[in-house]
Amino acid sequence: MGIKSWLTDFVSLIFPDVCEVCDSTLVHGEKMLCLHCMYDIPRTKLHKDSFSEIHKRLAGNIPINKAASFFYYYKENPYARMIQKAKYNNRPRLAFDLAEMFAGEIQPDGFFNDIDTIIPVPIHWVKELKRGYNQSRKIAEGISSVTGIPVADNLIAARSHATQTRRSSFERWLNTRSIFAVENPEELDHKHILIVDDVITTGATLLRCAEAIHTAAPTATISVATLAFTRPT
């Protein structure tokens, strides 16, 4: 056993890794979630449906080609806390690891086969400076690490906007008007773009991103993927 491995085992003994959902101590081979919680993830499996709940929620002027979301998001569900930790508790690695797990599960179904570029939903630079990272960028990087698809930064938040939390559908729609812009749109022409975010609630943010890309690069094909999808309990 090497020194590095010995030190890792020693640190784990003093500060054991615990499951992000149930707080039980993880055993060798488990990462982030214990086997029980990993099995119980409320997976949506919506990527297998050519016209899923996601497509219906995002129905509008911009056609969405493929859509995927890892698990259903319920307010009191312990799995929802992982999204909250990744976004607000300075846990960017959690977003990355969840995205890796998600991508690894749906890749065998061919979801990523014709995707050219991954674009994360951007946040304004002031907000990113305060938070220290963009959780959607970490999700994009996690998917990229599994699929090898490059992550692009063509989509930017041209202006800041208030948090979407606790806003109605109409308020979310108003809050996201004209906040996204596309740089170097020629790079996206004739490409299949996968827009990624953490959660789909009303879909207003993803729709605004899709609209911005479609306006700037009308020949692009757009698909979406998120870690979670809200659904009435």
Residues in CB range of 69: below 8 A, 6 or more apart: 44, 46, 47, 54, 200, 225, 226, 227, 228, 229
End-to-end CA distance of the chain: 50
Please tell me the predicted confidence (pLDDT) of residue 75. 78
Please tell me the predicted confidence (pLDDT) of residue 3. 53
| Amino acid, single-letter form, for residue 172 | R
Instruction: Measure Cα distances from 211 to 59, 196, 219, 230 in Å.
Output: 12, 14, 12, 22
Task: Determine the distance from the C-alpha atom of residue 93 to the mean position of all C-alpha atoms in its chain, rounded to a whole number.
Answer: 13
Distance between CA atoms of 99 and 104, rounded to whole angstroms?
A: 8
At residue 192, the 3 state secondary structure works out as strand
Task: Find out whether 45 and 71 touch, Cβ atoms under 8 Å.
Answer: no
Question: pTM surpassing 0.95?
Answer: no
Name the stretches of the chain with pLDDT < 70: 1-16, 159-177, 232-233
Task: Find out whether 16 and 25 touch, Cβ atoms under 8 Å.
Answer: yes
Please tell me the predicted confidence (pLDDT) of residue 77. 86
Please tell me the predicted confidence (pLDDT) of residue 169. 52
